[in-house]
Amino acid sequence: MTELVRTREELAKACAALTGTVGVVMTMGALHSGHETLLRAARERADHVLVTIFVNPLQFGPNEDFDRYPRTLATDLEACRRAGADVVFAPDREEMYPDGEPRVRVNPGLLGEDLEGLSRPGFFHGVLTVVLKLFQLTRPDLAFFGEKDYQQLTLVRRMARDFDVPVEVVGVPTVREPDGLALSSRNRYLSAREREAALSLSAALRAGVDAADRGLDAGAVLAEAHRAFGSGAAGARLDYLVLTDPDLEPGPVAGPARLLVAAWVGATRLIDNAAIRLAPRS
């Protein structure tokens, strides 16, 4: 039985009744099968699963889609029940920020100002602030985040380490449609033509992975990815396509690396990424 709680007091009471390890999955709702994969991963690792559903205003810029972001609590609860979640915490804005927007926020450092942070100023200040608040409110043993939001996952791990938050942050591989498009709550905004154009992101990643598997160097891998993105259906406008190390530091010349892409498709901004391994330099 999944229990829905809306206040801090109800959450504290529900958490006190959970014995053993607790895994948390933090979401903004509009759950899809990617979220359900996170829930299943949490169920496999933890004795109890707690889900948070909160559309966080701090991570939306003035021209972004906070007001139109889908709110689908009834169907979200059904997904949580199917996945065996024990508790769903779905606070409103006043419950999360009773004194209004917080004057003190988590500073993500230089990494938070690059990539997504460069395109969306202040975004990770808002993300890390709400994640830290939810860590404090839920006190989980494990926290599960999707690798699709790889920069977010990296920063949450770093925040937990730097602030000595006693939680294991677990990354869960990206879930994709059969044609390769990464699952996202924002995919519902795409028209049929835009959805075809959106495949340029995953095509770029596949080309990069294939180039790395063929032993090409970092420059050639990135060039192949750019070429594949540009040859996709018209309508995707590239924001960035970069190759970094696994911690999002400047790209390595050999070994594990990460290829990350972001693009606008119509009025919708999409992101994706893939792990690659660069061959040793001869």
The contacts of residue 67 (CB under 8 Å, 6+ apart) are none
Euclidean distance between CA atoms 76 and 111, whole angstroms: 32
The stretches of the chain forming alpha helices (DSSP H) are 8-16, 33-45, 73-82, 93-96, 116-119, 123-138, 150-162, 192-213, 218-230
Euclidean distance between CA atoms 18 and 35, whole angstroms: 22
Euclidean distance between CA atoms 237 and 221, whole angstroms: 20
* Helices and strands in the chain, H and E counts: 9, 9
**Which residues pair with residue 269 across a beta bridge?**
264
Active site residue 48: no
Active-site hit among 35, 48, 125, 226: 35
- Token duo for residue 257: 């690396």
Residues marked active site are found at 35
